Amino acid sequence: MSTHTYWRINIAAVAAGFSMEIAEIEMRATVGGADQCSGGTATASYTWNPASFAFNDNALNEWTTNGQANTGWIKYQFASPVDVAEYTIQASASHVSAPKNFTLEYSDNDSDWYVADTVSNCLFLGERVKRTFTIGDTSDGYEYWRIKVSAHSAGGERLRLQEIEFKAVVDGSDLTDAGETYNAAADYGWESPLQSFDNNTSTTWDTYGSSLPNWIAFIFQSRVEIVQYTIQAEDDSYAPKDWTLEVSHDGTTWDTVDTVTGETSWGAPEKRTFLVAGGGGGGGAVARPVVFFVT
């Protein structure tokens, strides 16, 4: 793609509500490269908090329309023309106000706009989740993984998962350690889902007060291949028994890549390791974010 002075995210829909909110936007010239959004000017079709908040490298404040509009655009005018090969969007604490359907567009005169990338059914599953989009990416892969639990080891409802790991190679390093800060989410949590990815076995994601199903999610910044995963439960009273590992491009339509049944008699605590079916070290599914779904 060639270079252009103006780039914007044109939002056709958010997940829910009457506002648009984005904590941070990055635009990169190369995949995995540095953010280019510096020294330019940010504007938006509607503002409550200024558009510049989405480009200030501070995820704790955000551009928001505060109920004024849930469609519109946020734009960055670079000091000189740039190419964009990859961009990121980070949701605010109100993640349902993040873009769901949108286009990345460019212009040379701030009048005639052309579409560089189109995204549909994009879900930010938790507060301040950050997602990465590569323009023209047609490689195999998925943006979400989840574990969907259909039975509890001790016949109950409550889960307490201390740690979850995802690995690109058998017995390799945990991919959730790679600087992923806010990228865990759940549909319910007495304790935060981040606590299942914090390398601290004294903390847990806890579904106390909720009945199955529940889900816990992890969102990767870029596509990864997962061939092995681990689950550490606090003890058998809070452990899963039967589940499927599932993948999705949009967080709505899911495909199963692994099925596990009969996992009982967990120790206190105990960590168990599972290979993705067909993944045994060389294959496996490819993905971005990861979601565990507890039924």
| pLDDT tens, residue by residue, 234-279 | 999 999 998 888 887 777 777 888 999 999 999 999 999 999 975 5
- Cα gap 82→113, rounded to integer Å: 15
User: Are 283 and 154 found together in one domain?
Assistant: yes
Count up the domains in the chain and report the number.
2
Whether 292 shows a pLDDT value over 50: the answer reads: no
Question: Does residue 154 contact residue 237 with C-beta atoms inside 8 Å?
Answer: yes
User: Are 120 and 166 found together in one domain?
Assistant: no
User: Are 119 and 172 found together in one domain?
Assistant: no
- Cα gap 53→23, rounded to integer Å: 7
Q: What percent of the chain has pLDDT over 70?
A: 88
User: Are 130 and 206 found together in one domain?
Assistant: no
Please tell me whether residue 234 adopts helix, strand or coil conformation.
coil
| pLDDT tens, residue by residue, 189-219 | 788 888 998 999 999 989 888 878 778 877 7
Residue 139, in any domain of the structure: no
Claim: this prediction has a pTM higher than 0.85: no
Residue 21 is predicted with a pLDDT of: 97
Domain boundary (85, 103, 134) is at 134
Of 29-43, 142-156, 273-287, least confident by mean pLDDT is 273-287
- Cα gap 163→71, rounded to integer Å: 38
CB atoms within 10 A of CB 39: 8
Task: Note down the domain range covering 176.
Answer: 144-294
- Cα gap 204→194, rounded to integer Å: 8
Q: What share of the chain is helix, strand, coil (3-state, %, to 5)?
A: 5, 45, 50
Residue 13, in any domain of the structure: yes
The dihedral region occupied by 17, where left means phi > 0, alpha psi between -120 and 50, and beta the remainder, is left
Residue 50, in any domain of the structure: yes
